[in-house]
Structure 1
Amino acid sequence: MATKRQRQSIVSALIALLETRDWQDIGLDDIAAEAGVSLAVLRSVFDTKVAILEAFVRDIDETVLAGDDGDMGDEPPRERLFDVLMRRLDTLKPYRPALRSLAASARRDPVLAASLNRMALVSQGWMLTSAGIHIKGLLGAAATQGLVVAFARVLRVFLREEDAGLPRTMAALDKELRRGERSFLRLERVSRPIRRGVRRRWERPASAQADPEDPAGAASSPA
Structure 2
Amino acid sequence: MRTDSIEDRAGVAAVELAGRLGWRHVRLADVAEEADTDLGGLRAVARDKTDLLRHFLAGMDRDVLSEDSGFTAEDSVRDRLFDLLMRRFDALAPYKDGVRAVMADVVRDPFTVVRLAPDGPASLAWYLEAAGVGTDGPAGMVRAHGLAAVWLAALRVWVRDESPDLAPTMKALDQALARAEQAAGWLSGVRGGRRRGDPNDRQAPADWTDQPDPAAPPPGEGVSAEG
Equivalent residue number for residue 218 of structure 1 = none
Distance (whole Å) between structure 2 residues aligned to residue 79 and residue 179 of structure 1: 14
Q: Does 1:102 align with 2:85?
A: no
Distance 1:119 1:72, change over 3 A: farther
Equivalent residue number for residue 139 of structure 2 = 139
For residues 59-110 of structure 1, the C-alpha deviation after alignment (integer angstroms, 9 at most, x for no partner) is: 1111111125123432111111111111111111111101101111122012
Equivalent residue number for residue 40 of structure 1 = 40
Give the percent of matched residue pairs that are identical in Structure 1 and Structure 2.
Answer: 34
- SS at 1:8's partner residue? helix
1:13 shift after superposition: 1.6
Are the equivalent residues in 2 in contact too, given 1:57–1:119 (CA < 8 A)? no
List gaps (5 residues or longer) in structure 2: 189-227
- SS at 2:162's partner residue? coil
TM-score (norm 2): 0.74
Equivalent residue number for residue 63 of structure 1 = 63
Equivalent residue number for residue 173 of structure 1 = 173
Distance (whole Å) between structure 2 residues aligned to residue 161 and residue 151 of structure 1: 15
Are the equivalent residues in 2 in contact too, given 1:11–1:55 (CA < 8 A)? yes
Equivalent residue number for residue 222 of structure 2 = none
The within-5 A match list for 1:1-223 is 4-185=4-185
Are the equivalent residues in 1 in contact too, given 2:129–2:135 (CA < 8 A)? no
1:170 shift after superposition: 0.6
- SS at 2:13's partner residue? helix
Are the equivalent residues in 2 in contact too, given 1:68–1:130 (CA < 8 A)? no
1:5 shift after superposition: 4.8
Alignment RMSD: 2.1
Distance (whole Å) between structure 2 residues aligned to residue 136 and residue 88 of structure 1: 23
For residues 27-50 of structure 1, the C-alpha deviation after alignment (integer angstroms, 9 at most, x for no partner) is: 212212333322112112222221
Aligned residues: 185
Distance (whole Å) between structure 1 residues aligned to residue 172 and residue 68 of structure 2: 22
For the pair shown, the structure with the greater C-alpha radius of gyration is 1
List gaps (5 residues or longer) in structure 1: 189-223
Q: Which has the higher helix share?
A: 1
Letter of the 1:183 counterpart: A
| Higher relative contact order, structure no. (Cα contacts within 8 Å, ≥ 6 residues apart) | 2
